[in-house]
A and B are shown apart, each in its own frame.
Chain A
Amino acid sequence: MRKFSIGFAVVSLLVAGVLSYFASGAPDGLDKTVEDTGIAEHAREHPLAGSALADYALGGDDAFTGVAGVLGVLVVLAVSFGLFWLLRKRSDVR
């Protein structure tokens, strides 16, 4: 389990930290739909748009997308591990 877990986590870190620089900047399917139909005019700015990691950047600087991605990976890892570990059925074997 150990090797597998480390490998899986490293893949996630590489995807978020390195591959993220090669992501398309074009709008995704939903954004494209709302832009082409004019629905997007009703969109409000995100209340946290000015926050440090907004839009997967660091203080608005896209050069740090990979850093933002790695931080995100660590946060999701911590939150999900914590939640699922607490939720799990305890084995009585101790």
Chain B
Amino acid sequence: MHMSDGLLNAPTSVVFLAIAAAGVGFALIKARADLDDRTAPMAGLVATFIFAVQMINFPILPGASGHLLGGALAAILVGPYVGALCVTIVLVVQALLFADGGLTALGANVTNMALIGTATGFLVAVALRRLAERGRGGLAAVAFVSAFVNTLFAATGFVVEYAVGGAGGVEIGKVALLMWGLHALIGIGEGLITAVTVTSVAAIRPDLVHLLRGSAKPLEVRS
């Protein structure tokens, strides 16, 4: 879901670069509280894992694929602020080293995947925290739903950006319908990957799952 350069006009690209910079700056300030000697290495591992898994495009329809965005995954494991930074690092490395995602489009791409994706994924996960604390099945369900929602909202980010200043003047309803339809399917894949990853981490090191930290009772893994 990395846009190339040229899909948005210059002023729109600048606006979303500013939004991305403000959001990442805010995350940098807030992330500190969630980072200590134990969680900082975990955050590095999460960013690395998201980079690796983003390479794996899975088929959704003949002639179309999708890949993990990672917002909900990161937010559940390391919190929303550190999570947003994880996805941002991945996007910057992809744009600079792998020519994946345009340079002028970087602001919009960070806005969609790192900010919107992580924030919406986190909000859903927190709203369902009770369920996540109930055991492995509950945690898997919460991870799936938050990841599905993060995918749809990140896709909506592009729809909004295109409506603000997209090239080509294509009817916005058409863009929205395609984006939402395709990303509803991609969201299922995102949900499955996120559920498997989060429950795997929780099974080995529940203390490293940000969403479960400070919960009243520790997660009963073997329930």
Distance in angstroms between the alpha carbons of A7 and B85 in the assembled complex = 22
Q: How many residues belonging to B are interface residues under a CB distance threshold of 8 Å?
A: 73
List residues of chain A with CB within 8 A of the CB of B37: 88, 91
List residues of B (41-98) whose CB comes within 8 Å of A's CBs. Answer: 41-45, 47-49, 51-53, 55-60, 62-67, 82, 85-86, 89-90, 93-94, 96-98
Closest Cβ neighbor of B47 among chain A residues = A80
List residues of chain B with CB within 8 A of the CB of A23: 55-58, 65, 67
Asked if A46 meets B99 with Cβ closer than 8 Å, knowing A26-B64, A39-B7, the reply is: yes
Size category of the binding interface on chain A? 35 or more
* Among A16, A33, A48, residue most surrounded by chain B Cβ atoms (within 10 Å): A33
Q: B216 within 8 Å of A by Cβ?
A: no
Min C-beta distance of A64 to chain B, whole Å: 13
Residues of B with Cβ closer than 8 Å to A? 1-7, 28, 31-33, 35-45, 47-49, 51-53, 55-60, 62-67, 82, 85-86, 89-90, 93-94, 96-100, 102-103, 155, 158, 162, 166-168, 170, 174-175, 178-179, 182-183, 185-186, 201, 204-205, 208
Report whether B98 and A13 are in contact in the complex, using a CB–CB cutoff of 8 Å: no
Distance in angstroms between the alpha carbons of A79 and B93 in the assembled complex = 9
Asked if A12 meets B85 with Cβ closer than 8 Å, knowing A46-B103, A54-B98, the reply is: no
Report whether A29 and B1 are in contact in the complex, using a CB–CB cutoff of 8 Å: yes
Min C-beta distance of B44 to chain A, whole Å: 4
Q: A19 within 8 Å of B by Cβ?
A: yes
Asked if A15 meets B179 with Cβ closer than 8 Å, knowing A29-B155, A88-B35, the reply is: no
Q: Which 10 A-B pairs have the closest CB atoms?
A: A42-B167, A29-B182, A80-B47, A81-B44, A44-B6, A24-B65, A54-B99, A16-B52, A88-B35, A15-B52
Complex partner residue of A85 from B1, B40, B55, CB under 8 angstroms: B40
Report whether A84 and B51 are in contact in the complex, using a CB–CB cutoff of 8 Å: no
Report whether A46 and B4 are in contact in the complex, using a CB–CB cutoff of 8 Å: yes
List residues of chain B with CB within 8 A of the CB of A26: 57, 59, 62-65
Min C-beta distance of A63 to chain B, whole Å: 15
Q: A67 within 8 Å of B by Cβ?
A: no
List residues of A (19-34) whose CB comes within 8 Å of B's CBs. Answer: 19-20, 22-30, 32-34
